[in-house]
Chains A and B, each alone.
Chain A
Amino acid sequence: MFVDCDRHVGVGQYSDLFSHMPLAWQRHFERVEFVSSIDEASNHIRVSERWDHPHVDLEPPGDDGDEYLLVPHQGLTINGWADRVGAKVFAAAINSYGLENWASPTRKLALVVSPHDPAWSAAEITRLATAGSGVGAVAIPLGDSMLGSFTLNPIYEACLGADVPVMVHFSGVEGRYLGAPPLSGGVHLSAFSRLSLMPHLAESNITSLVFEGAFETFPDLRVIFAGFGFTWLPSLMWRMDREWRTFRHDLPWVKEPPSTYLPGRLWVTTSPVEEAAISGEWDRSFSSQQLRSLLAFGSHQPFDGDSAADVTRVLGDAAAAVLTNGKAAITGSRESVSP
């Protein structure tokens, strides 16, 4: 039994969403170029310059006894849209479609909200994330503001009200589309470079959450970073703590060493787990329970993902706990799940 916090789902064609939109918006989206752009959305999640991807089945897994947090990645790409009004209609349609077609008691949907309209997002969360609704998290596509910004507070308040975590996954347009968040350095024309550097988005946003005091304002907030790998965690925690020690007088709202805010509030998913094995990083740097408690299984399936067996092979004795840590991330429950 495992809890997979990064299982992707999607529609086969965008026209499947039309019945979940007001008629006027159906007419708006019924255009050849938009409907065919679904191929680009699938490419983004792989961050690839291949344009001939083999077909990937984006249907959710069956009820097989395992638990899943479903990530509708097509919705995440709204962080690259120029039309931020249309983006909300699109996200709402995916949410509606997903709850109707994908969600189940063991397959919880990550609702997609808009980072550009926190008030609307909060209303969407309150409307949809009700008890038994099948909502497992709130996916915030990365937008103009980093996650520690107070402008996102309405979203966090709504998440706490609904008792669901925030989840963050890159859409793939970061560093590529104007308006989406930049990657580190300058402009990276190579998809290989962008994918190599994608973990920096997680680093920056975790730092933002801590250094802007979001975990002080919302001590019960839970956040899942999925798809970014995890081997960068020790380095980030050392740097955050060092800078806090140097500048804590400048950040009076950050009352504790940054790394102490993370356990019980932050989870980082495991894929691609092979990164931890390739030069012995797992054995070298992940012996502490504190670090291991921050990890949750995320397969990233069906895109170049990991299986539970891959995680077990690399993480060894720690795998059993990591495979089920997602339960606490999604529900807030401290009760472990029987492996």
Chain B
Amino acid sequence: MSSPVRKEKYPVVDCDIHPMVADVRRLLPFMSESWRRHFEVRGMRVYARARDRYNHPNITYRADAVCPDGGPAGSDMEFMLATHIEPFGIASALLLPQQPYGVTAWGDPDSAHAFYAASNDYFFEQWVPFDDRMSLAVTVSPHDPKAAAAEIRRFAGKPGVVGIQLLLLDTMLGSGTLDPIYEAAVENDLPVVVHQSGSEGCYYGSQGVAGGVPRSYGERHVVLTQVGAANVVDVIVNGTLEKFPGLKFVMVEWGFSWLSHLLPRMDLLWQRDPKAAPKAKKLPSEYVREAFTFSTQPLDETESPAELTALLETPGLESMLLFSSDYPHYDTDDPGFVIARIPDSMRSKVCYENALATFGDKVMRFRDPAAASA
């Protein structure tokens, strides 16, 4: 980062950082011999978005995040530490590996599983031990929920593993087909982190926005938040949180300004006709406030301080909001810029307290030596 930086008063948990494998072939040693041969012959597609359909108008990453050796942005842990984590006083970086998003465009469940399992091993072995500030969400996919559950149990309890990055296919989060994943999540007290992959709106096997097909990248990006909202509704309506008390969802990069209208709408509809959503036993907004958190990025650019205040005064938001930067993507939110806009009354919650409540103490392995000596 080239901009002046400052350390925050509170420790910051950055809930959206995307590490990369510099060369995806480095995952091959983490696979069985047969899978290694499979991918050596067939290659590995590591991007989810159909780039002949929605090509990004610029580049998808920050130019200043490209590694000194020319490696992909996000692929050098030392560079990330020096340019993003250290300068902003980030106490915990939730690593959401990006290359597994590509499997959302794959049709073969076994290949998908082999790939994301290798990615999990790679980041657990290479990145998590590198620094206590590295917190990993292991990636699983709904291609094969039982295999995904086994993958969760394989990593559960390991230091530095704090959550599950669940990819989205066409199945929404309230579907009973995902129950094996949720059972494993609850059993191991691991929140389910859901981040857009880029495949949304691209394929018959992916989820999309309402209305049809946006023409351009930017138009699609305006309404992409709808997919996150739709999955929140789906979880409530299908009684997932009644079935799995204690299950937590972390919705990353879906925005949050839509909560102020979605929650009242659901509550109003439920109050008028509770039998229309018979698996919901209480106000939908109560489920959301108990079980969901939402990341700050992309922070909506309100036109005035009054609008920003209105945005952040959505009832219950102070306990649902987690700081996120989306480093090293093109639309990274500068931590200093964003946190300065969070009111004093909720700043500590957004910086780290809500993350602690969501992920538990394991998200805060790092102890600042300076703070300790003081």
Contact = CB atoms under 8 A, between A and B. Distances in A.
B227 A185 contact: yes
Contact of A200 (B209, B217, B234, B260): B209
Nearest to B283: A278
B277 interface: yes
A196 B269 contact: yes
A250 interface: yes
Given A185-B233, A187-B170, 14 more contacts: A185-B226, A186-B171, A192-B269, A192-B273, A197-B230, A199-B261, A204-B214, A208-B211, A234-B257, A235-B260, A238-B300, A238-B303, A251-B216, A287-B306
B210 A182 contact: yes
A229 interface: yes
B231 interface: yes
Contacts of A49: 276
Interface in B199-219: 207-219
B100 interface: no
A249 interface: yes
B150 interface: no
Interface stretch (B23-31, B242-250, B307-315): B307-315
Given A247-B57, A281-B261, A285-B260, A207 B277 contact: no
Interface in B252-299: 255, 257-258, 260-270, 272-273, 276-277, 285, 298
A192 B223 contact: no
Interface of B: 57, 170-172, 207-219, 221-223, 225-227, 229-231, 233-234, 237-238, 255, 257-258, 260-270, 272-273, 276-277, 285, 298, 300-303, 306-307, 310-311, 313-315, 331
Which of B171, B264, B267, B277 lies at the interface centre, i.e. has the most chain A CB atoms within 10 A of its CB?
A: B264
Given A191-B276, A284-B313, A238 B233 contact: no
Given A212-B219, A278-B267, A239 B257 contact: yes
Interface in A229-272: 229, 231-232, 234-236, 238-247, 249-251, 272
A339 B132 CA distance: 66
B229 A190 contact: no
Contacts of B285: 279
Contact of A181 (B210, B216, B266): B210
B218 A251 contact: yes
A331 interface: no
A153 B213 CA distance: 17
B257 A279 contact: no
Interface in A20-59: 48-49
B230 A186 contact: yes
Contacts of A246: 218, 331
Band of interface residues on A: 35 or more
Interface string A169-187: 0000011000001111111
A157 interface: no
Contact of B272 (A200, A249, A304): A304
22 contacts: A182-B211, A185-B172, A185-B227, A185-B233, A186-B207, A186-B234, A192-B237, A196-B265, A197-B233, A201-B211, A204-B209, A204-B210, A204-B223, A204-B226, A211-B222, A212-B215, A231-B261, A235-B300, A250-B217, A274-B268, A279-B314, A284-B313
A195 B267 CA distance: 12
Nearest to A144: B212
User: Shortest 10 CB-CB distances between A and B: which pairs?
Assistant: A185-B230, A204-B211, A200-B210, A247-B218, A184-B226, A250-B57, A231-B261, A211-B219, A235-B257, A238-B300
A57 B331 CA distance: 52
A184 B258 CA distance: 13
Contacts of A241: 301, 303
Given A190-B237, A279-B263, A204 B276 contact: no
Contacts of B268: 272, 274-275, 278
Nearest to B299: A242
Contacts, number: 211
Contacts of B302: 238
Nearest to B272: A304
A96 B210 CA distance: 32
A203 interface: yes
B265 A250 contact: no
A250 B54 CA distance: 12
B233 A200 contact: no
Contact of A192 (B219, B277, B303): B277
Nearest to A254: B218
Nearest to A278: B264
A134 interface: no
A174 B170 CA distance: 18
Contact of A199 (B57, B227, B265, B301): B265
A142 interface: yes
Contacts of B266: 196
B311 to A, nearest CB: 8
A94 B83 CA distance: 65
A285 B216 contact: no
Contacts of B272: 304
A148 B215 contact: yes
A184 B276 contact: no
Contacts of A229: 261, 265
Contacts of A104: none
Nearest to A242: B301
A201 B210 contact: yes
A146 interface: yes
Interface in A205-239: 205, 207-208, 211-212, 229, 231-232, 234-236, 238-239
A252 B307 CA distance: 28
A185 B276 contact: no
A46 to B, nearest CB: 10
A146 B213 contact: yes
A184 B222 contact: no
Nearest to B331: A246
Interface string A126-152: 000000000000000010111011000
B223 A207 contact: yes
A193 interface: yes
Contact of B264 (A190, A197, A231, A251): A231
B216 A247 contact: yes
